[in-house]
Amino acid sequence: MNKLTPQSKNFADWYNEIVQLSDLAEYSDVKGCMIIKPYGYALWENIQEEMNKRIKAIGVDNVYMPLFIPESYFKKEAEHVKGFAPEVAWVTHAGGKKLEERLAIRPTSETIMYRTFAKWVHSYRDLPLKVNQWANIVRWEMRTRLFLRTTEFLWQEGHTLHTTEKQADEMVDQALELYKNFVNEFLGIYVLNGIKSQAEKFAGAEYTKAIEGMMKDKKALQMGTSHSLGQNFAKVFGIEFLDQEGKKQTPWPTSWGVSTRMIGGIIMAHGDDKGLVLPPKIAPIQVIIIPIYKNSDEEKKIKNYIKNLEKNFKNIKYKIDWDHTNTPGWKFNQWEMKGVPVRMEVGPKDVQKNQVILARRDTGEKLQVKLVNLAGNINNLLNNIQDNLLKNSENNLKSNIKNYTDYNKYKKDIKKENFFALVNWCESKKCEDQIKYDTKATTRVYAENKSGKCIVCAKETNKQIYLAKAY
């Protein structure tokens, strides 16, 4: 059954194969549009549920804005349109007629949000305004990859307005912190966070901050972004408020989002040659129970035995695989491939000994566990696995950051293997482009300031940045 290409052989093939073998998603006939299958969509629902709680907890309300953006709005902010126009899908005909004005399918909703906010905001009392929406987004990408880069994807986009730049900056940080904590605590992925370079920022933003994880192939994945938009968008859409002195002011907007791309992160940060490895907190099935029996007499005994255990499993997402058409061995492989964190085996010997066998998906370790406080022990095991995945992810990232001062040495090394490089950089686009041209690596996020010479042009600078090949 398992035709999965090993990661070491070809990580890209491994990724494409496992997404489809584990029934997460597949391509549709419309180029680059994906079909998210039940097992994959369950991951997205778990992400949504937890993120929604966290987003609401910081005082953000959910709304829904139209899918369509009139071309005239879309063109109002110059940098924005320049950044997104090449990727837009246009509706030109509807209801049997040619439209007077073309409608963009939203590639992001800043323009329609700010047009609306201009109607909602009048006084400082209307601020801060903090809304979020869960929506589908369309960007006509040339090269697509399931979850990582698809023509249509699902996301969450927060949009806020503030009275001062400082408050907007704080919101940018708060959203990024929320993403970082979520990704750490729920997805078990360790991330770097910081400011993107001007070339890598969101089209129309003042600055962009991002979280960046390291995948198993040592490439970077940007997993969430948070933008300070300066006052440009607010000005072009005419958003104004009267401050406490009755003076007209322009508010400071931010926007921030994460998408179905996160699922690609889960796959690539934890998966191995056997398939997915899902963090327990996000796994649709946390424990797969596999009964092992040779005849209907044993089957009956095991059924009763499991029925008794189940009563205590109310807080565990479990499933029992009673399928008669496959062997236990086949099932082991199948559920390992699907990344279920814990396998519980129950055979006649276990019934005799009042125990079950638990197998960890992350380490492969097998444990004989007595029935006393079984549910509690399973929960502890799930927590251990969750922690272990984060620890592994942290180790993977931290042990693969290398400092470089010699550009030639860096160029030579990055051709041989992937890693994150920490280098001094003069902040010029020229040097950034040179790095990209020479190595295919891009600047990811700024690190702490430290004096040194730009790795390309040797100019003195106190800026350091991470470089990596990225998805």
Q: Residues interacting with a copy of itself, by CB under 8 A? A: 26, 28-30, 33-38, 41-42, 44-45, 61-70, 73, 85-96, 102-103, 105, 112, 115-116, 119, 125, 131, 135-136, 138, 140-142, 152, 154, 325
For the bound state, the minimum distance from the C-beta of residue 76 to a copy of itself, rounded and expressed in Å, comes to 13
Q: Shortest gap between Cβ of 211 and a copy of itself (angstroms)?
A: 24
CB of 86 to a copy of itself, least distance (A): 5
How big is the CA angle at 186 (ends 182 and 187), to the nearest 5 degrees? Answer: 100
The residue ranges of DSSP E strands in 313-378, in sequence order, are: 318-320, 342-346, 355-360, 366-370
Q: Which is nearer to a copy of itself, 46 or 396 (CB)?
A: 46
Minimum CB separation of residue 38 from a copy of itself in Å reads 4
Measured torsion, CA atoms of residues 36, 68, 73, 254, in degrees rounded to the nearest 10: -40
427: tokens are 């902040």
What phi and psi values does residue 6 have, to the nearest 5 degrees? -65, 145
- Name the minimum Å distance from CB 265 to a copy of itself: 18
Q: Which DSSP state fits 218?
A: S
* Torsion-angle region of 136 (φ positive above 0: left; ψ -120 to 50: alpha; else: beta): beta
- Burial letters for 19-30: b for 16+ Cβ neighbours within 10 Å, e otherwise? bebbebbebeee
Closer residue to a copy of itself, CB minimum distance, 63 or 351: 63
Q: If you ran DSSP here, which 8-state letter would residue 149 be given?
A: B
Which of helix, strand or coil describes residue 464? strand
Q: Nearer Cβ to a copy of itself, position 95 or 417? A: 95
- What angle, rounded to 10 degrees, do the helices at 261-270 and 38-57 form? 110
Say how far residue 90 (Cα) sits from the centre of its chain. Answer: 27
* 96 versus 352: smaller Cβ distance to a copy of itself: 96
Select 50 or 87, whichever has its Cβ closest to a copy of itself: 87
**Cα–Cα distance for residue pair 16/409, rounded to 1 Å:** 33
- Give the Cα separation of 342 and 157 in Å (integer): 34
Could you tell me the smallest distance in angstroms from the CB atom of residue 79 to a copy of itself?
Answer: 18
In sequence order, what are the residues at sequence separation of 6 or more whose Cβ sits closer than 8 angstroms to the Cβ of residue 173?
Answer: 209, 226
User: Closest distance between a copy of itself and the C-beta of residue 151, in Å?
Assistant: 8
| Shortest distance, position 227 Cβ to a copy of itself, whole Å | 22
Between residues 335 and 466, which has the closer beta carbon with respect to a copy of itself?
A: 335
Q: Which is nearer to a copy of itself, 152 or 350 (CB)?
A: 152
What Rg, from alpha-carbon coordinates, does the chain have?
25
Give the dihedral sign, CA 451/454/459/461. negative
Query: What is the rounded CA–CA span in Å between residue 201 and residue 436?
Result: 16
Q: From the CB of 126, what's the least distance to a copy of itself, in Å?
A: 12
Is 92 or 295 the residue whose CB approaches a copy of itself more closely? 92
Q: What kind and span of H or E run contains 393? A: helix 374-398
- Nearest distance in Å: CB 170, a copy of itself: 22
Residue 9 has φ and ψ, to the nearest 5°, of -75, -50
Q: How many residues does the chain have?
A: 471
Nearest to 19 by CA among 3, 40, 1: 40
Closer residue to a copy of itself (CB): 29 or 448: 29
Q: Which of 325, 357, 327, 339 is nearest to 263 (CA)?
A: 339
How near is the Cβ of 218 to a copy of itself at its closest, in Å? 31
Q: Which is nearer to a copy of itself, 131 or 276 (CB)?
A: 131
Nearest distance in Å: CB 64, a copy of itself: 4
Burial (Cβ within 10 Å: 0-12, 13-18, ≥19) of residue 226: buried
Task: State which amino acid sits at residue 451.
Answer: S
Question: Which residue, 239 or 468, has its beta carbon nearer to a copy of itself?
Answer: 239
**Nearer CB in complex with a copy of itself: 125/416:** 125
Chain-centroid distance, C-alpha 124: 35
